[in-house]
Amino acid sequence: MAEVLLFHHALGLTYGVQDLAQRLRDAGHVVHVPDLFEGHTFGTLDDGVAYAQELGFDTLLERARGTADALGPALVYAGVSLGVVAAQALAQNRAGAKGAVLLEACVPVSEFGAAWPDAVPVQVHGMDADPFFAGEGDVDAARELVDATPDAELFLYPGDQHLFTDSSRPTYDAQAATLVVERTIRFLDGIR
């Protein structure tokens, strides 16, 4: 059983993110899903990103760190899209990280001022034609991470949807999301 800290995307803590967390719980893992937006949800990525910028990414990272500090060090950090920023920063820089699952985004490792820790396994999942993941360089950052990290995997799914793992969105792809969940559960089952 792994203990997971899952961070939501720019639309906020949607029922689709909660559903994703529940699917991991149903497989026997403990999953915490903090609401970094404190109850705010948005209908468009532009609105959600604008709100995140208004709050400030430092504030969001501070909230994420505060949640992690309350839980202890032995966590797997996971994030969906914007939530990957917090998950990746914590996995790279917080002692005791057990792993990371980066969904629909990947930030260049150099953004967080440290190399990826060799002892922290990582999975990255994204669609091969997603205009954000494939079109804005995330897939390139993911390939670099996988090339430089002993225990890293990149999974690409056919399609051009962003937030395809969120069952509350019209962009949801049930077949791809099921594969993401299966692969994530297998990854979490291997965490020691």
Please, what's the b/e burial string for 72-89 (b: 16 or more CB within 10 A of its CB; e: otherwise)?
eeebbbbbbbbbbbbbbb
**In the predicted model, is pLDDT for residue 179 greater than 90?**
yes
Residue 112, domain CATH: 3.40.50.1820
- Give me the domain span that covers residue 47: 3-189
Amino acid 126: pLDDT: 98
In the chain, % of residues over pLDDT 90: 94
When divided into structural domains, the chain yields a total of 1
Beta carbons within 8 Å of 166's beta carbon, 6+ residues apart: 9, 11, 14, 16, 17, 20, 80, 172
Residue 145 pLDDT greater than 80, yes or no: yes
DSSP result, 43-106: SSHHHHHHHHHHH-HHHHHHHHHHHHHHH-S--EEEEETTHHHHHHHHHHHSTT--EEEEES--
- pLDDT beyond 90 at 27: yes
According to the model, what pLDDT value does residue 115 have?
A: 86
Mean pLDDT of the chain: 96
Q: What tens digit of pLDDT does each residue of 100-109 get?
A: 999 999 999 9
Asked if 168 and 15 count as a contact pair (C-beta separation under 8 A), the reply is: yes
Q: What pLDDT score was predicted for residue 192? A: 82
pLDDT of residue 86: 97
- The DSSP output letter for 148 is H
pLDDT reading at 114 higher than 80: no
Mean pLDDT across 58-86:
96
For residues 129-156, give the mean pLDDT.
96
Instruction: Answer yes or no: is pLDDT of 52 > 80.
Output: yes
Evaluate if residue 118 carries a pLDDT over 90.
no
